């Protein structure tokens, strides 16, 4: 047998390869499916609800909107723009307000360069600002609020016994939150004498048989045997008349009463006579202000603090600050704060804060504050008397809100005598004379 005919062993490489049939794998129906984690399942409905809410309210693209920051110089009414709900409502319009805090008169007399808007708390400062502008500006007066004196019940009841204050009885009975204050009689307690300036510095004002320093709290009957005592003077803690609208308005009340319930300078034949009358009135009321200590601004913060009564028995504040406190107190505790009460001066003074635009961005803010009904509603919830339809002010909405929350509604004083502030030049003369204020340069922004 030849070598060619002899059988050979087949190598692995020489063997023909057989193509394998592809296998189709099917899912085992008995095998459990993979499930999402429980925390993911719990979060899905919330995420879906949030998405639906954004779509319904039109805020789905809000994170991509451009938010404009408004640089604004504001006085005490900055607390409105600091409110979280107001800030949320402004963000819906793409606006955020960066607040630079300063007293109203300080705003009016200092440089406004770089500001988009200003918000002085009253008309004297607003007029000074408007007079400085070299262009037509947009502005709005969204609400008004009376100037009041915040005190504590024991002090208000002492003034009531002296015939200086009269309680406003609540409609449903209970303890009064508000008193009407006779400013003519009250000013007689601020001069440190029994009556006129020629009378004694000591006496028995409260007829308790004890001779005491005149016009002290104990001297007018605050002290009781075995009870509380305060031998300090009857004073009002005010802010500086050189910077604050509240102090300037309080000064206007004192000047009005000291001038025989007449606005100083009004009706005078010429400016010289008006200024002479202003200086005469300023000399009469300067001791009443000098005694106050010329404290810094933000009296409400101190008055409403836990140590408020130990800081000052009477503080100059705005009505809305007190009402906002009562609304918050009722919400938190289910009842009003009956320890703190208000004294409404007679004659009275309303303050009208004015939001003034100084730029295009400021114009946007003014339009929103003027037109947005939700912002007006929030102002009522913060204790303001909101203006409607160009009226000087309305109390119906605020009174209804207070009644709905179980808070006593302030009643209008039967004596409707209103203090009208003097002309700007006359008021400036009184303020400068009483406060010895530094003259500030008034540049145009």
pLDDT of residue 25: 59
106 versus 148: the higher-pLDDT residue is 148
Largest CA distance in the chain: 161
Q: How confident is the model at residue 219 (pLDDT cuts 50, 70, 90)?
A: confident
Query: Can you tell me the distance from the alpha carbon of 139 to that of 362, in angstroms, rounded to the nearest whole number?
Result: 9
Q: How far apart are CA 386 and CA 145, in angstroms?
A: 9
Taking residues 158-183, report their average pLDDT: 93
Output 247 or 205, whichever has higher pLDDT.
Answer: 247
Query: What pLDDT is stored for residue 324 in this prediction?
Result: 95
Whether the CB-CB separation of 183 and 175 falls below 8 Å is answered with: no
Is 346:181 a contact under the CB 8 Å cutoff? yes
Q: What is the pLDDT of residues 299-357, one digit of tens each?
A: 888 899 999 898 889 999 999 999 999 999 999 999 999 999 999 999 999 899 999 99
Pick the range with the lowest mean pLDDT from 77-86, 134-143, 297-306, 318-327.
297-306
pTM of the model: 0.80
What residues contact residue 403 under an 8 Å CB cut-off, 6+ apart?
409
Tell whether the model's pLDDT for residue 191 goes beyond 80: no
Residues 125-143: what's their mean pLDDT? 89
Helix (H, G, I), strand (E, B) or coil at 28: coil
Tokens of 173: 């009975």
Q: Give the C-alpha separation, 251 to 305, whole Å.
A: 25
Whole-angstrom distance, CA of residue 396 vs CA of residue 374: 17
- Residues 145 and 384 sit within 8 Å (Cβ to Cβ): yes
Comparison of pLDDT for 111 and 440, the residue scoring more: 111
* DSSP of 392-427: S---HHHHHHHHHTT-PPPPPPS---BPPPPPHHHH
CA dihedral (161, 260, 385, 426) in degrees, to 10, reads -140
- Please provide the average confidence, as pLDDT, over all residues in the chain: 82
The answer to whether 402 and 408 have CB atoms below 8 angstroms apart is: yes
Return the closest-CA partner of residue 184 out of 121, 259, 245.
Answer: 259
Overall average pLDDT of the 146-153 stretch: 96
Closest CA to 440 of 27, 110, 220, 198: 110
Checking if the pLDDT of 147 tops 90, the result is yes
Residue 169 — pLDDT band, cuts 50, 70, 90? very high
Read off the pLDDT of residues 11-40 as tens digits, 9 standing for 90 and up.
555 555 555 555 655 555 565 555 666 665
Instruction: Convert the pLDDT of each residue in 384-442 to its tens digit.
Output: 999 865 444 467 889 999 999 999 999 988 888 899 888 888 888 898 888 877 765 54
For the chain, give the percent of residues with pLDDT over 90: 45
- Residues facing 212 on adjacent strands: 203
**CB–CB of 77/369 below 8 Å?**
no
How do strand 315-318 and strand 202-203 relate by DSSP bridges? unpaired
What token pair was written down for 120?
Answer: 């002085």
* Residue scoring higher pLDDT (89 or 202): 89
């Amino acid at each position: 047998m030849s070598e060619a005919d002899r059988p050979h062993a087949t190598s692995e490489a020489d063997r023909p390869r057989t193509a394998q049939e592809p296998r189709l794998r099917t899912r085992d129906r008995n095998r459990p499916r993979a499930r999402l984690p429980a925390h993911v399942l719990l979060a899905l409905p919330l995420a879906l609800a949030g998405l639906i809410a954004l779509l319904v309210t039109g805020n789905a693209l809000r994170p991509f909107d451009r938010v404009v920051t408004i640089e604004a110089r504001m006085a005490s009414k900055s607390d409105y723009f600091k409110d979280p709900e107001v800030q949320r409502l402004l963000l819906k319009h793409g606006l955020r307000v960066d607040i630079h805090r300063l007293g109203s008169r300080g705003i009016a007399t200092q440089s406004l360069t770089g500001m988009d808007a200003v918000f002085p708390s009253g008309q004297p400062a607003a007029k000074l600002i408007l007079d400085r502008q070299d262009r037509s500006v947009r502005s709005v007066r969204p609400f008004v609020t009376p100037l009041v004196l915040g005190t504590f019940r024991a002090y208000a009841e002492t003034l009531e016994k002296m015939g200086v204050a009269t309680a406003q009885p609540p409609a449903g009975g209970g303890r009064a939150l508000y008193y009407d204050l006779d400013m003519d009689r009250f000013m007689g307690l601020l001069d440190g004498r029994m009556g006129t300036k020629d009378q004694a510095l000591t006496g028995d004002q409260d007829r308790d048989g004890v001779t005491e320093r005149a016009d002290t709290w104990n001297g007018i009957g605050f002290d009781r045997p075995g009870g509380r005592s305060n031998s300090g003077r009857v004073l009002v803690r005010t802010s500086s008349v050189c910077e604050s609208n509240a102090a300037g308005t309080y000064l206007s009340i004192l000047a009005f009463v000291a001038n025989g319930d007449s606005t100083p300078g009004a009706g005078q034949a010429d400016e010289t006579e008006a200024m002479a009358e202003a200086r005469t009135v300023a000399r009469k009321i300067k001791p009443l202000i000098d005694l106050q200590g010329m404290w810094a601004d933000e009296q409400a913060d101190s008055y409403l603090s836990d140590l408020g009564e130990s800081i000052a028995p009477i503080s100059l504040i705005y009505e809305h600050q007190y009402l906002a406190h009562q609304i918050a107190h009722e919400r938190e505790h289910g009842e009003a704060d009956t320890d703190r009460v208000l004294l409404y001066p007679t004659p009275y003074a309303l303050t009208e804060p004015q939001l003034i635009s100084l730029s295009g961005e400021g114009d946007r803010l003014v339009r929103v504050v003027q037109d947005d009904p939700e912002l007006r509603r929030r102002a009522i919830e913060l204790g303001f008397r909101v203006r409607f339809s160009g009226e000087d002010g309305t109390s119906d909405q605020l009174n209804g809100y207070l009644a709905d929350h179980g808070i006593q509604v302030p009643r209008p004083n039967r004596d409707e005598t209103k203090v009208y502030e003097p002309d700007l030049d006359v008021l400036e003369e009184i303020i400068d004379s009483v406060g010895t204020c530094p003259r500030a340069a008034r540049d145009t922004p």
